[in-house]
Chains A and B, each alone.
Chain A
Amino acid sequence: MFGPPPAKSKDFRGSLGRLLGHLQPERKLLALVVSLTSLSVVIGAFGPKILGRATNHVFYGYLGKQIPIGVTKTEMLARLRSNGQSQYADMLQNSPIIPGQGVDFGAVGRILLLAIALYAVASFFMWLQGYLMAGITQRTVFRLRRAVEEKLGRLPLRYFDGQSRGDLLSRVTNDIDNIANSLQQGLSQILNSILTIVSVLIMMVWISPILALVSLIAIPLSLAVTVKIAKRSQRQFIAQWDWTGKLNGHVEEMHTGHALVKVFGHREQAITEFAELNYQLYESSFKAQFISGTIQPATMLISNLSYVAISVLGGYKVATGTMTLGDVQAFIQYSRQFGMPLSQIAGLMNLVQSGVASAERVFELLDAEEEDLDTSTPQQILRARGEVHFENVSFRYEPDVPLIENFSLHVKPGQTVAIVGPTGAGKTTLVNLIMRFYEIGDGRITLDGIDIKNMRRDDLRRQFGMVLQDTWLFTGTMSENIAYGAVDPLPEKIFAAAEAANIDHLLRSLPEGYDTLLTDDNATVSNGERQLITIARAFTADPPVLILDEATSSVDTRTEILVQRAMAVLRRGRTSFVIAHRLSTIRQADTILVMDKGRLVEQGNHDELMERHGFYFDLYESQFTAPISGA
């Protein structure tokens, strides 16, 4: 009633089967759980019938007491018949009463002790199965989570590009939580409900087939009514979630664009639009709530009708001696027990459906194509000299959109290579290829003469240190973040790295210094400062080859100079690839690659390229001409 509508699954049976397949390792325990549940339900089902027998004893004792001592049963019957109370006489005739004697508490006590024992055993089994079931589902979900997380490590980067981050995240978090819920609640309750229905039904037929028939008419009726109403309310619930989504979207947009909404004079309109969406949401959620709210009265009506029918019919049968009072009482209890699991199953089906839909989304992730396996005969480099060779490399993100075509480049150890060019020129792609984030189409790339395809990815990547434009820090302390790339993170090394990245002073001015906790949305650390931390991280990693992809784009230019100086020290003796927007930062590079549309258009050092008056020259000049007033 409270969650989003169950998403429709594409292949309900298949996915359900596969989800249940994940319970395979628990099958022995699962079998035990099933038998425990069956036992507890069946034993529990005997309860009312046994209590009914106790009531009968009380009833007979009560009747027996009505007959004066000394009068035999036959005399009594004859007296009643002559008074015209023939029905009463029939009942007495069929009852094992002893005139004048009260309730046989010995018999009642024995029956009740049996009932207590049965109830206690049933509850114990119920608890035991709940306990075991918790373990089964939690362990299964644990394994599923781990499978998903390990899968994330084997997916190619291409997969992450093609997927909306929010959607992927939702799969690994919300969907798995949802599966956990439906397994935990759904599995044992469905089993319980079905078993209860079956055993109660058997008991009812056993007691009185005619009364069972009366109840059985009520059941499909109330089921049909429930389904019909549920269908109608489901439509309204979907509408409700739809409007909630729209309202959410509007609120999000208006809050994110708060300043614009005001300055561009849209505040009134924003409120009006909100009011409209709010009204629609109100209407649909009212309808959904009201319609689903009528399910209970409707089923109650039917169950009350059958209660009345059983009372009247049962009363009649007791009065005519064709049924005992205890049986009627037991029957009423059974018919009440019957309704509950029925309405539960309807709710549980929703739960299972939504769980399976989630499972399907998780399976889609688990089935996604993985990265090619590393070569089985890897070549190893302990520490590369840093000679990088691109030989006729071609690469495309999408099969029919050529990006890098027939690209060749030779970088000598220790050289600094700058890569410049407009957005979309393929600068970052080049770097992605060296790191084997993507596999090249044609040609080959070598590091120290070894084809990078013949190395294990991890061995290859250990040769590189990388600083990216979008700074990624994880939740942890400042020093943990800086030490992320280090093999043996000594404190001195961390401090030195922070010093070199010009962030030591800032970190020490924080209340908890290097131990300050960094969170995802930490407002105390600006973008520029984050970038400096990632630079310090590259320092601690101490790799033979450095990759700086717009490493200082968020840092203000004066700080940048200081960091550039430090990076110049860091670059000493290492091969470096530097991607930069601000051309002033790469003037000292040994080689500047000018790229445009995936092609290498110019190559040379700053002075050579400036003299050529080509693409680089234009790019460089445009940074300094045409100020805003045209002066």
Chain B
Amino acid sequence: MLTLTLRKYLRPYKRSVWLVLLLLLVQAIANLYLPTLNAELINNGVVKGDIGYILRSGLIMLAASGLVIIASVVLAYLSSRVSMGFGRDLRRDVFTAVESFSARELNHFGAPSLITRNTNDVQQVQMVLFLGLTMMLGAPITGIGAVIMALRTNVRLSALLLVAVPLMAIMILFLLRRVVPLFRSMQLKIDRINLVLREQISGVRVIRAFVKTKHEEARFDLANTDLTRTTLTVTRTFAIMFPSLTLILNLSSVAVIWFGGKLVNSGQMPIGNLTAFLAYIMQILVSVMMAVMMSLMIPRAEASAERIMEVLDTESSVIDAVNPKAPVVKNGRIEFRDVEFRYPGAEQAVLSGITFTAEPGQVTAIVGGTGSGKSTLVNLIPRFIDVTGGSLMLDGIDIREQSLEEVWSGIGLVPQRAFLFGGTIAENLRYGDPQATDEDLWRALEIAQAKDFVDDLADKLSSHVAQGGTNLSGGQRQRLSIARAIVKNPRVFILDDSFSALDYSTDSKLRAALASAASGATMIVIAQRISTILGADQIIVLENGLMAGLGTHQELMNDSATYREIVLSQLSPDEAA
């Protein structure tokens, strides 16, 4: 998955990547040339006492190291450009993909997970790419180059590499095999301890009310001990790594001098080559070490790439019409014709046999217990999800044949969870209509019973709203969210349990004001409180995804047993009459 992602997203940077490879090669060759020059400096200069030669070699060495530096700087430039550009492109595509998702895909992933995928996961892959371009690819190139140089310097001495390199590789692989699973379990234990703490903070009242502080401490201690034990094993195992690798490195240099000395003595190798060989063997072993250490990051990046591609490969289940039709009359009439909705593969439909018409200027209320399908039903109207059977018409045309933007432009949505965007109150209210004047906003606030509290704020309409609206109370958020829909002046209002945080008197005032202000609009209201919907033009009773009644309050009181039960659970018999 990682290679796939890299291949796909590196395509625009192909030339830069080739250039990077070329530069790495230049860098490696020049770097490796330095010990050779040094060897010649010793062989021809020092041994023969030729000072002029020593100085000339010094100058060539300077030039070579200058080349290395230039290559490195260009390399840093190119690899930063490529890897950061790669990350940028990936983020752009993930975000665009998510924006096209329907509610179903969004729920499948969950917003928090999508955020992590687009930020942390991309970061992870991007970092591995950067390190890959600068170090991981460089290590084998330098390593191979060094082997060639070592062979050129002396073939027989190079046999040492056949011992040192496998020894090092076995050492590292052995440790990694032990440590990687431990790492994973350590991460799980960190998650566990964080979970316990999170629960203790969020449940502090309950824990104290039930006198469970000691119990929670014990639970925490268990997790803490467990984590500490694993971490200790990991760090102690790792503690072997560095000293043993250093030992292998040092023993290799000892061996070079011993065997190299014999070769020098028997005249098979000039003395300077001994020093050069020492430098090569260090370079080879260091790059083996680097390569293995870097590859530690690959499994994590692999997992990240998988999570990213999962998002990119998901297609929205709601597809915009190719040749959209536009309705002639736009009055907001909504018609459900034998509508069914079921999740793919599910045995039971969430909704089925839903047939009704919501007329402009009328209030259609939907009631039913938790899980009866109320929210699913209203989510079909803005095509957050698509019907899987029957059809849903808006202004006489099937919504799937209209353009999404067209459908959305007519709808004023007040979702169950009142969500506000960070910014000012005015910006939030203008969300659906950027051209609305301040008077429009105040009028909407008045209808939504929010005028008083906004008026009490020091900055009125320009008051700051924290992201999600967290600096406002639930009731205030709900009222602003209603006002936002009013400002948009839509032909269809969808109010999904939008009065739950309001006290009863505010609730009733709001409904009366909204009824007279938006008298021509189609109003679809989900409510828990019976009092909210007593006067609706028609009430749809949902039970387990089926319509258990359709009519006015009076009609349903007579015909629908389910409705009667719901009503009587809230009102006394004479109030219900």
Contacts and interface: CB of A to CB of B under 8 A. Distances in A.
A, B: real partners: yes
Interface string A53-96: 01101110111010000000000000000000101101100000
B370 A145 contact: no
Contact of A318 (B46, B130, B412): B46
B509 A119 contact: no
Interface in B226-275: 228, 231-232, 235-236, 238-240, 242-244, 246-247, 250-251, 253-254, 257-258, 260-262, 264-265, 267, 271, 274-275
Contacts of A472: 199, 202-203, 205-206
A218 interface: no
A43 B211 CA distance: 58
B488 interface: yes
Contacts of B197: 149, 152, 169, 172-173
B445 to A, nearest CB: 17
Nearest to B565: A558
Interface stretch (B157-165, B456-464, B569-577): B569-577
Contact of B432 (A55, A88, A265, A475): A265
B280 to A, nearest CB: 13
The residue among A152, A249, A332 with the most chain B CB atoms within 10 A of its own CB is: A152
A582 B570 contact: yes
B185 interface: no
A624 B575 contact: yes
Given A149-B200, A422-B503, A627-B534, A141 B92 contact: no
A258 B111 contact: yes
The residue among B211, B274, B514 with the most chain A CB atoms within 10 A of its own CB is: B211
B82 to A, nearest CB: 10
Contact of A141 (B49, B134, B211, B228): B228
Interface in B42-94: 42, 45-51, 54-55, 57-58, 61-62, 65-66, 68-69, 72-73, 75-77, 79-81, 83-85, 87-88, 91-92
Contacts of A62: 47, 264-265, 271
Given A282-B85, A472-B206, A556-B528, A626 B511 contact: yes
A60 to B, nearest CB: 10
Contacts of A139: 228
B473 A423 contact: yes
The secondary-structure label for the interface of chain B is helix
B247 A316 contact: no
Contacts of B111: 252, 255-256, 258
B115 A248 contact: yes
Nearest to A120: B247
Nearest to A50: B254
A145 B384 contact: no
A179 B278 CA distance: 40
A142 B523 CA distance: 59
Interface in B334-350: none
B278 A315 contact: no
Given A423-B503, A559-B369, A623 B531 contact: yes
A134 B232 contact: yes
A475 B219 CA distance: 11
A556 B80 CA distance: 56
B444 interface: no
Contact of B46 (A184, A248, A315): A315
A142 B224 contact: yes
Given A173-B197, A484-B212, A316 B408 contact: no
Contacts of B523: 628
Nearest to B499: A628
A297 B186 CA distance: 36
A558 B566 contact: yes
Interface in A162-185: 165, 168-169, 172-173, 177, 180, 184
A380 interface: no
Contacts of A293: 75-77, 79-80, 134
Interface in A298-319: 298, 300-301, 304-305, 307-309, 311-312, 315-316, 318-319
A597 interface: no
A260 B243 contact: no
Interface in B9-62: 34, 38, 41-42, 45-51, 54-55, 57-58, 61-62
A528 interface: yes
Contacts, number: 446
B265 A65 contact: yes
B46 A628 contact: no
A150 B51 CA distance: 73
B547 interface: no
B413 A259 contact: yes
A250 to B, nearest CB: 9
A559 B566 CA distance: 9
Nearest to B204: A160
B505 A630 contact: no
Interface stretch (B98-106, B141-149, B323-331): B98-106
Interface stretch (B173-181, B188-196, B352-360, B391-399): B188-196
B247 A123 contact: yes
Interface string B545-573: 00000000000000000000110011110
A193 interface: no
B371 interface: yes
B8 interface: no
Given A103-B264, A558-B565, A627-B511, A315 B250 contact: no
B409 interface: yes
A348 to B, nearest CB: 15
Nearest to B216: A153
A256 B208 CA distance: 33
Give the contact-size bracket for chain B: 35 or more
A264 interface: yes
Given A134-B236, A311-B41, A423-B473, A265 B405 contact: yes
A325 interface: yes
Nearest to A581: B503
B232 A289 contact: no
Contacts of B236: 130-131, 134-135
Contacts of A149: 197, 200, 217, 220, 224
Given A264-B431, A557-B569, A282 B413 contact: no
A501 interface: no
B314 interface: no
A119 B251 contact: yes
A260 B235 contact: no
A319 B49 CA distance: 5
A102 interface: yes
Nearest to A282: B88
Given A308-B65, A464-B209, A177 B81 contact: no
Contacts of A534: 206
Interface in A114-148: 115-116, 119-120, 122-124, 126-127, 130-131, 133-135, 137-139, 141-142, 145-146
A313 to B, nearest CB: 9
A288 B336 CA distance: 56
A271 B95 contact: yes
Nearest to A537: B210
B49 A325 contact: no
Contact of B98 (A138, A145, A255, A528): A255
Nearest to B107: A523
Nearest to B198: A169
A68 B504 CA distance: 116
B45 A315 contact: yes
B114 interface: yes
B232 A135 contact: yes
30 contacts: A54-B257, A62-B271, A90-B49, A126-B246, A131-B239, A138-B232, A142-B228, A149-B217, A160-B204, A247-B119, A251-B118, A256-B468, A261-B99, A262-B408, A274-B91, A282-B85, A286-B81, A290-B77, A293-B76, A312-B55, A315-B57, A319-B49, A325-B42, A422-B503, A465-B209, A520-B195, A582-B529, A584-B572, A623-B529, A628-B535
Question: Which 10 A-B pairs give the minimum distances between C-beta atoms?
Answer: A627-B535, A293-B76, A130-B239, A88-B49, A297-B72, A304-B65, A622-B505, A626-B508, A312-B58, A134-B235
